[in-house]
Amino acid sequence: MSGSAGSPPYAAELAAAKKAVALAARLCQTVQQEILQSDIQSKADKSPVTVADYGSQVLVSLVLNMEVTSGSFSMVAEEDSEDLRKDSAEEILEHITDLVNETLAEDGSYNITLSKEGILSAIDTGKSEGGPSGRHWVLDPIDGTKGFLRGGQYAIALALLDEGKVVLGVLGCPNLPLTSISNLNGSSSGDQTGALFSATIGCGAEVESLEGSPPQKKLGVQAPPVRIDSQAKYGALARGDGAIYLRFPHKGYKEKVWDHAAGAIVVTEAGGVVTDASGNDLDFSKGRFLDVDTGIIATNKQLMPSLLKSVQEAIKEKSQAPSPL
Ligand SMILES: Nc1ncnc2c1ncn2[C@@H]1O[C@H](COP(=O)(O)O)[C@@H](OP(=O)(O)O)[C@H]1O
Ligand SMILES: [Mg+2]
Ligand SMILES: [Mg+2]
Ligand SMILES: [Mg+2]
């Protein structure tokens, strides 16, 4: 059972998740300010991986392990240490180690210093396969790596699965205006930057400042198209900055659980709906991948029926169109 009598479900896990994401966000902000071209590696899938992806994963793993001591620890996370264990990555590993230790020292909550081996094994705590039974943390240490690299939007996305269901989610969005994305261009609005979205199953969704200061705001999904990287889109949708988020990757692309778990619960707990193109709920119990039909649709309950119909018609039209030579 989670929580003692009277406290909301998963309260301790939520507090730990927020702390983990906020600390990881601090490391990411440091790196974004001093991005060095030489720190960008290329993974086999060609997506850029930075010291910040790894550093963020280390800090989240560390904080969760320190704060949530009951039960065994399982985490399904995007990064692994394979590339970092190569001789050629020695310098990068050193940089990550310094960054993590500096961030921990500045925070002051934990009196620990990690060795390079400690960094590698913390990254590899994210190797779990997840699945339908037990509890699994789901982490995208930096979602929207492309946005991160160009100084734009990205998110640290952390969710908890319990018996195959997402029961809580936290989205740290360091570059997102606190109140609305209409304040994205231009600082004259005086809107604070850095939003932390969170949601627990059955308890609604909230947004607060990433710096940890109140006010907190209950979210509600309501109704201009915007293009921003990462699960910050789910957060923006959850507070009514936009009404629809459609994601239709190229054929054959397999969606990963960490790209949607935290964002999906933030939207559903704000009163929205997230399904695939057939109208099915997303099933996070199948391991590291999501088995979705064609794409993902997130919107409010009023728009969903007509949107689903339009999407299905568009898919049908496309499948009937003559294929290009
Ligand atoms: N060809 C592709 N089609 C769809 N999604 C892709 C993709 N290649 C990578 N992604 C995923 O899309 C995420 C970014 O989403 P968005 O486009 O909404 O910013 C990436 O997360 P990471 O940045 O964590 O690797 C990555 O997992
Ligand atoms: Mg990636
Ligand atoms: Mg991602
Ligand atoms: Mg990522």
| pLDDT at residue 238 is higher than 80 | yes
| pLDDT at residue 192 is higher than 70 | yes
103-117, 126-140, 153-167, 186-200: segment of lowest average pLDDT: 186-200
The mean pLDDT of the chain is 90
| Whole-complex ipTM | 0.95
ω into 214 cis (within 30 of 0): no
Average pLDDT over residues 218-244: 82
Average pLDDT over residues 146-167: 94
* Residue 143 is labelled as binding a ligand: yes
Looking at residue 179, what is its pLDDT?
Answer: 87
Q: Give, using CA atoms, the residue closest to atom 2 of ligand 1.
A: 249
Task: Please write the tens of the pLDDT for every residue from 26-51.
Answer: 999 999 887 755 456 555 555 567 89
Rg of the chain in Å (alpha carbons): 19
CA distance 272 to 264: 9
Instruction: Give the distance (Å) from ligand 1 centre to CA of residue 146.
Output: 9
CA-CA-CA-CA dihedral for 278, 280, 283, 289, to nearest 10: 10
| pLDDT at residue 186 is higher than 70 | no
Report whether 24 contacts 155 (CB < 8 A): no
| pLDDT at residue 3 is higher than 60 | no
Q: For domain 11-318, which CATH number applies: 3.30.540.10, 2.130.10.10, 3.30.70.20, 2.60.300.12?
A: 3.30.540.10
Average pLDDT over residues 53-75: 96
Instruction: Confirm or reject: Cβ of 143 under 6 Å from ligand 1.
Output: yes
* Residue 80 is labelled as binding a ligand: no
Instruction: Confirm or reject: Cβ of 140 under 6 Å from ligand 1.
Output: yes
Looking at residue 42, what is its pLDDT?
Answer: 58
Looking at residue 325, what is its pLDDT?
Answer: 57
Domain boundaries, the chain: 11-318
| pLDDT at residue 188 is higher than 60 | no
